[in-house]
Every structure is written in C-alpha cells, then in structure tokens.
Chain A
Amino acid sequence: MMRVDAVVIGSGAGGGVAAAVLAQAGKQVLVLERGRDLTFEQIGRDHLRNHRIARYAHRSGPDYEDSPRVIVDEAGNEQQVRAHEPGFHGNATLVGGGTRLYGAQAWRFLPADFAMAGTYGVPAGSSLADWPVGYDDLAPSYERAEWEIGVCGDHTASRRHWTRAKPYPMPPLPEGLQARALRRGADALGWDVLPVPMLINSVPYAGRAACTRCRHCVGFACPAEAKNGSHNTVLRRALATGRTRLLAEAVAERVTCDSAGRVTGVRWVDRSGARHVVEAEVVVCAAGAIETARLLQNSPTRREPQGLGNNHDQVGRHLQGHAYAWALGEMDEDVHDGLGPGVSLATLGFAHHNEGVVGGAMLADEFIPLPIAFWAWNLPPDVPRWGAGNKRYMRENYRRVMRVGGPVQEIPSPHARTRLDRHVRDRWGIPVARLSGTTHPETLRTAAYIAGRAREWLLASGARRAWTAEVPLRLYAGQHQSGTCRMGDDERTSVVDRWGRVHGHDNLYVVDASVHVTNGAVNPVLTVMALAYRAAERLCADW
C-alpha cells in the first residue's frame, strides 16, 4: 500500500499549483491524472480533432471510449454523449489539464465579481450569492500566480480596474491589425480598452522562449513552450523537489473516509482496470467542476450517503460556465495578419453596472480562427453554406471578418447540476455524470445586451456590416465549468469553506473552479490558480 502526505486529483490549473506548494513545503505528494502524458506531436495540429473544434474524437482526451455522460436536455429528453460530442461539457484531459491547450487569458476577477448578489440583488429562481472572500483577499495570490506561472500584460491599463501592487512580469504581446481597428472604434465611442493579459511569454521568461506568434494557439499545445501552464511551470517544480510523483492514466474512483469523517486516502484505477489504494493525510480534489463533484458523489459513507460533503444536497448544483455573447463584423480592410494568438484588446466597460441587466462581460477580439471553424461559425447568415458563393465569400473575407465577444457572467441556477447516473457506468464500472438544467434566463438578457455592445464596437471600428445570434437557454459548463462545490460560510448552502476545505472534513480540499460561487465576467483560470495558491498556503501553514 502506498502512503503519502497528500494526494492531488487532477494536474490542471488548480492541481498543479497545489502540488507545487505542498511539495515545496516538504510534503510527499502523489498527483493522479486521468489523462495521458502527451507530447506536442501526439497532440498535433489536427484541425478536426482538437479542443477548439471537435468534429471527431479528441486526440488530447478525454478518450473516446472511456466515459460517456448522460445529458438531460431542456425538454427532459436524455441522451448518452461521448467526449467530443455536443452536450458532454468536457475539458481537455491530459497531463496539465486544460492549461496545456488553453487560450491562456489571465484575468483577475473584478471586485464586483465577488459580490454579484449584493450588487444586483438575487433574481427569482436563481442561486446568485456573494463569495465569502473578496478581491482584496485574493490579490496577493493573483500576484503570485502572475509571477510564478508567468503573465504578460499592461500594468498601467490594468490598474484602472484593479488595485495591483506589482506590475506584470512581462509586457503585453505586440498589437496587430485587429487591435488597431478596435482601438480606432473604442476611441470613436470613448470606451476604455486594455491589452488582454495572457499566460504567454511575450519575452523569454523563466528559462523558456517567447511566443512565436503561430496560428495554432487555443486548442493546441505550444511549439515553443511559451504558453505557460501547469505542465511547464508548477508541475515541473513539484517534480523537481523529488517529493512529487505524477501518475498519468490514473483515475480516482473514490475518496476513502473513516467512520469519524476523516478522509484516509483515495482508491484509484489504472489503465488495466486494476484497483489501488493510496493512504494520505490530505486529499485535494482538482478534477474540474463535473469530475470533482462526481468523485465526491461516488464516495458515500454511512454518515454521508449522498457522498462526501453532500448532506445538504449542494454537491453538483449551480453548475455553470460562461454563456458567450458575440458579434461578427465584416471589415473593409484585412484584419487577419496571421500573427497569433489573435485575441489582443479588451474592454471591461460592460463587465458590470449595465442599465437594466445583471452583471455583464469583458469583451475582446478572438483567437485566429481555424479555416474549418471559420466556415462553421463565422459566416454571415445570408451567405450560402456551400457552392460557388460560399467559396468566394471564404476567399474574399476570411481575413476581413472579425469576432468580438466575451464570457457573460452566468446567473446560476440550483437546477443546473451534475449527478450520478443510475444506470450508465464508465469503462471501469464507475457511475457517470448526469447533467441537467440550464442557466438562469437572466443570463440571456445580459448576453443580448453584451452582444449589442460587441456589434456597436465592430461598427465603430469600421465594419461595413455586423451580425450576431441569440444565445440559447441551455447549460453552459464546458471549458469554464464551475460552481458545483461552491464556497461559503454556511454548510447548508455551500460545500467548501473560504479556504477550500469541504465542510465537515478537516483534510479534504477542493481547489478547482468547482468552488466558484459565480464565475466572473472574465475567463476564470487565473482565479483557479490564485485560489489554489491561497488554499494550499493555508493548508501548509496549519499542517
């Protein structure tokens, strides 16, 4: 039987940070990662099988045959979906998790993001709530994440939105044609803009090279290792201590617990299906909002028959991500200059305090679209989907059509949730996740407002026409999935305390976006990292 100080389940944004902090504090750490340890070549640049557009089974996990999910749609119909299909709500599943492939936008949550209920009131039927912590509590951890994992950005511009002690460790990436056009539009409208902070090396940093400006950023691994994720920063440092063992293709099946409620370790399954048990002083869950909730639900005890931390039926509820509101504009001039990553300039002017709606979103331009994704998603509604006219439009406008959009902060619903399916099991016999519910309808009112601002920005930036589409009422819990083990002081309405510790369990932690009470008006990954630093530092201090 293996015995360690801490087991960390998941090697993505939260798990990597937790492993590094624990190992650097002298603890023996075992990291269990469900996905494979893939090289750049294995991940590849396959335009049909990636985490941007998945027309066929992923090359970078989750594996096709491993585990389906059951999705119950708005009409109550249920369907089994596989990992690359719509409705699965997946995250990249490999060593490094989503950070290996992500777009790497490095936003701090805005102060008002932590106080949505207090700022706007609670819409009927929603579970909107304030966080038990605020921006000031997290600021030091954000700073640590920016420096230790590596963020480029504009300190001066960012200080208009956040209290920031230290500048970013790197200047922003040079701006291209999209940003030039959007600055012109923002000037005309009198809007404040700022460069998008990125977990990308704009200059050589921490022993790795600068971004080569390739066209395959989001959804792919970086050829220059200039994109900073768990795999090339914190996980590497955790392993360098000699006190961390990282096991890929190791699926956590159950967190084990004694009769007094003290967590004793983890039972896990290897690729062959063999079961193993590892004993630990502390278990840290960082498997993502759906898989962390599933793991807790799959770990029932006599005291907690619905799973660890779930005696108040909170684990798996408030499942959310981001509804994306956007507009596309057809410009008079080329805005595609072939220089990645593409996303470059943002406004935070509509993240909060918009007339008549709750919350809002950051708005920015888009990553360079893959040609097949451009065909699938970026054509105006009046252009035929095939034929000579389609081919001509693709040729004349691929470089002229620009998308502006942003992650609308969801108004959470307690009915949007992940549970265990009673019948369907994965290849190891473990009950799979059953997803149901939708975002709250208020989210869509905000999305419509934000799409309008995106359109306005494009037209002011020189678009000869711009279009958008209605954001549908459904579940949004893919790559930004969050909310299923929400943080709070009251164990009846939350799952973890303000330090990420599961209520009622002194030695069980959650350090992924499951703990987010709301998911911010911006991309959430830097907040996952900051919260993991904060939780792991406190855990070590109390040990």
Chain B
Amino acid sequence: MRLYQLAILVTMPGPIRSVTPQQTATLRAVVDTIVPADEYPSGTEAGVLDYLDGQFGGDLAGSRACYGAGLDAVDAEAGETYGTRFDLLDPVQREALLRALESGDTRTPWPFDAAVFVSTVVGHVMEGFYGDPGNGGNRDAVSWRMIGFEVGE
C-alpha cells in the first residue's frame, strides 16, 4: 500500500539534472492523463504540479533526477509508437501508452522498471490531488468537495 517503489526510485543511479521545459510539458500531460478533466478540474488544474514542485524540494528531492529520466523515456516511447512527443498525443493515445507502460510493455530501453515508474508517479499524483491542501495540491479542497469528504460544507 505504501510506496516501496519510492525507495527503488530514490536509490536509482542517474545524473542529477533539472527538469527541462520538455520534461515539464510531458509531466503536465502525464498528470492530466492520470487525473483527467471532466466536470471537475484535472490534476494540473487542481494544483498537482504545485504539490510535486514542493515535494521535489523536500521528501522527493532524491527522486527528481529519476523523474527527468522517466519522463524522457515516456517521450521516447511516444516517439517509437506514435512518432511524436507524449504531450502532443491525443488523450486516448496518452492513456493507451501509459497503460502499456504500467503493464511493463515497453518498446525502448528504460533506465529502470517502467511499470514501477508509472505506479510511483500515479501515487504521487493522487497524493497531490486527494491530499490535504496544506501539501500544496488539491487547490481549494476541490477533490474533497468532489467526493463529499466534507459533507454539508
């Protein structure tokens, strides 16, 4: 239930580098595939990127490089399968690609287990979306109001 996967990512060897604009675009697309917009805001609209930014300066500081490498790998998969970047795919293609990676179905070399990367990112995105607003995401407690955690408020 808890993030065994995180420990794997934290200890993964890899060059330290900052997240590039392309990686940010990919991350934005990944987050909104995990929590897409409907009658309620998407993950990024609810502040999940703000949550992740905060965590990259804190609990997840050691995961930042792995995120970069994983996002590059997601982009490479998109290129191999669809001939373009992940953020330029349509929502159906994005979901299909992440589902494939989640089941370990990869077409390009990965620096670590693609399925672990996807499930770890899913966990972090849900923390940002359903966690308390004090953690930087879940803007205005929008997910809590969506599900009815706070009845009558």
- Which B residue's beta carbon lies closest to that of A388? B36
Cβ of A386 and Cβ of B132 under 8 Å apart? no
B130 touches which of A45, A371, A377 (Cβ 8 Å): A371
- In the assembled complex, the Cα of A73 lies from the Cα of B88 at a distance in Å of 45
B34 is an interface residue with CB less than 8 A from chain A: yes
Known: A336-B151, A372-B126, A377-B1. A46 touches B144 (CB 8 A): no
Known: A46-B132, A337-B151. A387 touches B95 (CB 8 A): yes
Known: A375-B126, A395-B147. A47 touches B35 (CB 8 A): no
Cβ of B122 and Cβ of A48 under 8 Å apart? no
Q: Interface-forming stretch among A49-57, A122-130, A353-361? A: A49-57
B4 touches which of A86, A215, A392, A399 (Cβ 8 Å): A86
Interface set, chain B 1-34, CB cutoff 8 A to A: 1-4, 7, 33-34
B122 to chain A, nearest CB (A): 5
- In the assembled complex, the Cα of A429 lies from the Cα of B102 at a distance in Å of 42
Known: A47-B131, A86-B2. A385 touches B147 (CB 8 A): no
Known: A48-B131, A54-B2. A398 touches B151 (CB 8 A): no
- Which A residue's beta carbon lies closest to that of B94? A387
Cβ of B2 and Cβ of A85 under 8 Å apart? yes
Known: A371-B130, A387-B95. A394 touches B125 (CB 8 A): no
A338 is an interface residue with CB less than 8 A from chain B: yes
- In the assembled complex, the Cα of A398 lies from the Cα of B153 at a distance in Å of 16
- Interface size range of chain A in the complex: 35 or more
Q: Chain A's interface: helix, strand, loop or mixed, by majority? A: loop
B9 to chain A, nearest CB (A): 14
Interface flags, B34-46, vs A, CB<8A=1, else 0: 1110101000000
Cβ of B134 and Cβ of A44 under 8 Å apart? yes
A40 to chain B, nearest CB (A): 14
Cβ of B127 and Cβ of A372 under 8 Å apart? yes
Interface set, chain B 121-142, CB cutoff 8 A to A: 122-123, 125-127, 130-132, 134-135
A236 is an interface residue with CB less than 8 A from chain B: no
B59 is an interface residue with CB less than 8 A from chain A: yes
Cβ of B38 and Cβ of A391 under 8 Å apart? yes
A391 touches which of B7, B40, B119, B151 (Cβ 8 Å): B40
A541 is an interface residue with CB less than 8 A from chain B: no
Interface flags, A49-83, vs B, CB<8A=1, else 0: 00001111100000000000000000000000000
Cβ of B149 and Cβ of A57 under 8 Å apart? no
- In the assembled complex, the Cα of A435 lies from the Cα of B36 at a distance in Å of 43
Residue among B59, B126, B146 with the highest chain A CB neighbour number at 10 A: B126
B122 touches which of A334, A339, A385 (Cβ 8 Å): A385
- In the assembled complex, the Cα of A46 lies from the Cα of B137 at a distance in Å of 12
B109 is an interface residue with CB less than 8 A from chain A: no
B contact residues around A391 at 8 Å (CB): 35-36, 38, 40
A274 is an interface residue with CB less than 8 A from chain B: no
- In the assembled complex, the Cα of A181 lies from the Cα of B40 at a distance in Å of 30
A376 is an interface residue with CB less than 8 A from chain B: yes
B119 to chain A, nearest CB (A): 8
A478 to chain B, nearest CB (A): 12
A508 to chain B, nearest CB (A): 37
Cβ of B147 and Cβ of A371 under 8 Å apart? yes
Known: A44-B134, A372-B126. A387 touches B147 (CB 8 A): no
- Which B residue's beta carbon lies closest to that of A393? B147
A contact residues around B38 at 8 Å (CB): 388, 391-392
A89 to chain B, nearest CB (A): 13
A382 to chain B, nearest CB (A): 15
Return 7 A-B CB contacts under 8 Å, by A number. Answer: A45-B132, A48-B135, A334-B148, A386-B34, A386-B126, A391-B35, A394-B147
The 7 closest A-B CB pairs, nearest first, are A338-B151, A398-B147, A371-B130, A47-B132, A386-B34, A372-B130, A56-B59
